Amino acid sequence: AADAIKAGKIVAVKGLGGFHLMVDARNAEAVATLRRRKPRRDKPLAVMARNMAQARQVCKISPKAEDLLTSPAAPIVLLPKKQSNIAENVAPGNPDLGIMLPCTPLHHLLLQELDGPIVATSGNLSDEPICTDENDAIQRLGHIADSFLIHNRPIQRHVDDSVAWLLLKETRLLRRARGYAPLPVTLLQKMPVILAVGAHLKNTVALSVDKQVFISQHIGDLESAEAMAAFKRVIADFLRLYEASPVAIAHDMHPDYFSTHWAKEQQVSRACPELAEGWAGEQGRKKPTCPPAHLPTCIAVQHHHAHLAACLAENGEDGPALGVVWDGTGYGSDGVIWGGEFLLGDAANFERVAHLRSFRLPGGDAAVKEPRRVALALLWELYGEAALAQDDLTPIQSFTSTEKRLLGQMLKKQFNAPLTTSAGRLFDGVAALLSLHQQVSFEGQAAMALEYLADKRVTDAYQLPLTKAEGRRMKDEENKHSSFILHPSALILDWLPMLDALLQDLRAGVDAAVISARFHNGLVEAIVSTAELIGETKVALSGGCFQNRFLTEGATQRLRQTGFKVLLHRQVPPNDGGISLGQIAVAAAKMRKKSS
């Protein structure tokens, strides 16, 4: 195996929770071959070093980072790169490198035979669970790996490597898996037995037993048959392991998520097989033999409310708090795609007190993979149809005349162009305007490039004024007898003045690094000014956007300077990997409220 790696070959190595795909991290050609076969075009790859001495050759490592790398959990740790002989295409355009040390005897032995670090990435195809069995691995990875190094210890449960970083001098998780899952998060009070089935992306599931919430390993995006099968296996494993019979199943409010469909199916089939048969028959032709009282309750939890509740729960806080919940996508209570939210509340209730100005996503999900579409949508809000004529801007230049016409029709007729308040998409659109990425190959790629570009020495900021919104009619999830209630007016964080100033700077030739910094600083100041207006002393920062170090550290420091208590994630990720914990907290609070 060592000789194969030295020769530039790809070796699949059986580890603790699955296979790694390994190549020489110094061999750019071997790394390119791995990327092409996997396929994983641009997303950073993790590196395994033999020991701390070797790790120090490629990364800047503080004493806290060393403690984390050498801890029993042994996660991948994101650390600043040094100039070294690591191939640039291991983590292209990224100032950090994800590095780890060997975590099994086999890895130790292999690294002893090599004279440099190796890429050690998950042994799977992109978006599929990691392979655990050698026969499965040969079947699924045979076209990727040139050789297989296996051992004779069976792997009972698939588990990826955990990913951690040091933020504001504390260890925080970005992916909670090997070494951390299923260690429990302890809550303030006892919970009924609730199963939470998590989000659609970065899925984890959770189970509450007394005061403890056991959270599964990272399962991944529920977008392939293999991922869905792994989701079901993990749930069955959890219920068997903890001998639990849930009285409720908490799920995301989005009606089309696989996890939502699964939860609603289990409301019938898990608790009562006879009722499941009746349900599957022709419109209940076969009458169920067990009473409805035996069925687990399905509890829908709004996505961003779950983020807020997760942050409160792991910090041992009851609330209320102001949750600044910024991410890419979450199904809102009004049916709109939320993502730039300010929620005031606790686990039981929330009020949407402010949000980013909404805009449309031409092509829907296609806009997630094409930030240039988001840039066009932002320009449409500023210029209307004249946005299509802004040919001095890179996103507009990148479209053919046919694409412009079709996208213009989507925006004009509001067809296949859903509304969103997504902060994640706002980052994408600005990245496209600054010519960073017009299309992306992985989630967050454009936003990461925008963060890394920012000049940290810049202190001035674009303005995002707060305006008052009109009341909006929204679905009432609590009262099924009344289909709509009037949502109270919320504050709108208006990014249009910021966009106008940004475009003026861009056209005046201001350095893109300065523009990026002013954009980030503007968002930080907008968070602080909104918090001051709302007046709640506790502020919880959650959602995938708070994986951005510039944004998170800036907002935390400014909020603390202004007198706020800031709550950040530590035990679960700020991204959707922490949603299942929040779903448990919300579901339990709703059940307590209902019984009181």
pLDDT score, position 291? 40
Query: Count of CB atoms within 10 A of residue 92's CB?
Result: 14
Mean pLDDT of 516-544: 97
| Residue-level pLDDT at 183 | 92
Share of the chain above pLDDT 70, in %: 92
Q: Which amino acid is at 505?
A: D
What pLDDT, on the 0 to 100 scale, is given for residue 125? 84
Question: Is the pLDDT reported for residue 588 higher than 60?
Answer: yes
pLDDT tens sequence across 319-338: 899 999 999 999 999 999 99
Q: Does the pLDDT at position 286 exceed 50?
A: no
Q: Is 299 in a helix, a strand, or coil?
A: strand
In percent, the amount of the chain with pLDDT more than 90 equals: 85
Q: How confident is the model at residue 127 (pLDDT cuts 50, 70, 90)?
A: confident
| Residue 259 DSSP label | H
Rounded-to-integer distance, Cα 119 and Cα 112, Å: 15
SS3 annotation, 543-575: CHHHHCHHHHHHHHHHHHHCCCEEECCCCCCCC
- The average pLDDT across 518-525 equals 98
Between residues 481 and 435, the one the model is more confident about? 435
Give long-range contacts, CB 8 A cutoff, 24+ apart: 475-481: 475/333, 475/334, 475/335, 477/253, 477/300, 477/302, 477/333
Confidence of residue 31 (pLDDT cuts 50, 70, 90): very high
19 pLDDT above the threshold of 80? yes
Write out the E strands in 84-180.
96-100, 118-122, 147-149, 163-167, 170-175
pLDDT band per the 50, 70, 90 thresholds, residue 479? very low
Q: Residue 493 pLDDT more than 80? A: yes
* For residues 185-193, average pLDDT: 92
Check residue 266 and give its pLDDT.
77
Q: How far apart are CA 22 and CA 87, in angstroms?
A: 14
Residue 448: how many CB atoms within 10 A of its CB?
24
Report the sign of the C-alpha dihedral through residues 217, 219, 220, 222, in that order.
negative
Whole-number pLDDT of residue 283: 39
Output the pLDDT for position 294.
52
Find all residues with CB under 8 Å of 583, minimum gap 6, and list them: 196, 197, 198, 206, 250, 251, 252, 299, 301, 306, 309
pLDDT band at 489 (very low <50, low <70, confident <90, very high): low
State pLDDT tens for residues 164-178.
999 999 999 999 999
Predicted local confidence at residue 269, as pLDDT = 58
Compute and round to an integer the Cα radius of gyration of the chain.
24
Residue 474's H or E segment, with its range, is: strand 472-475
Backbone angles phi, psi at 299, to 5 degrees: -120, 115
Q: What is the mean pLDDT of residues 504-516?
A: 98
Is the model's pLDDT at 22 over the cut of 70?
A: yes
Best CA proximity match to 433, nearest among 512, 495, 333, 537: 512
Residue 318, exposed/middle/buried by CB under 10 A (0-12, 13-18, 19+)? middle
Contact yes or no for 157/229 (Cβ under 8 A): no
Q: What integer pLDDT is reported at residue 278 of this predicted model?
A: 39
Predicted local distance difference test score (pLDDT) of residue 166: 97
Q: How confident is the model at residue 265 (pLDDT cuts 50, 70, 90)?
A: confident
What average pLDDT does the segment 47-53 reach?
97
Mean pLDDT of the chain: 91
Distance CA 11, CA 475 (A): 53
- The string of pLDDT tens digits covering residues 367-415 is 999 999 999 999 999 999 999 999 999 999 999 999 999 999 999 999 9
Whether 137 has a pLDDT exceeding 70, the answer reads yes
Q: Which amino acid is at 212?
A: Q
Q: Reply yes or no: is the peptide bond before residue 418 cis, omega within 30 of 0.
A: no
Residues 425, 370 contacting (CB under 8 angstroms): no
SS3 at position 334: coil
What pLDDT was estimated at residue 481?
A: 36
Average pLDDT over residues 44-55: 98
Neighbours of 126 (CB within 10 A): 15
Give every CB contact of residue 562 below 8 A, 6+ residues apart in sequence. 528, 531, 532
Among 149-153, 285-289, 435-439, 461-465, whose mean pLDDT is lowest? Answer: 285-289
pLDDT, tens only, 97-117: 999 999 999 999 999 999 999
Buried b (16+ CB within 10 A) or exposed e, 63-81: eebeebbeeebbbbbbbeb
Where helices occur in 62-149 by DSSP H, the ranges are: 63-69, 105-112, 134-141
Q: What is the mean pLDDT of residues 120-144?
A: 91
Q: What is the dihedral of CA 40, 44, 48, 49, to 10 degrees?
A: 140
pLDDT at residue 480 above 50? Answer: no
Per-residue pLDDT at 264 exceeds 90: no
- Looking at residue 295, its pLDDT comes to 62
DSSP, collapsed to helix, strand or coil, labels residue 458 as: coil
For the purposes of burial, counting CB atoms within 10 Å of the CB of 400, is it exposed (0-12), middle (13-18) or buried (19 or more)? exposed
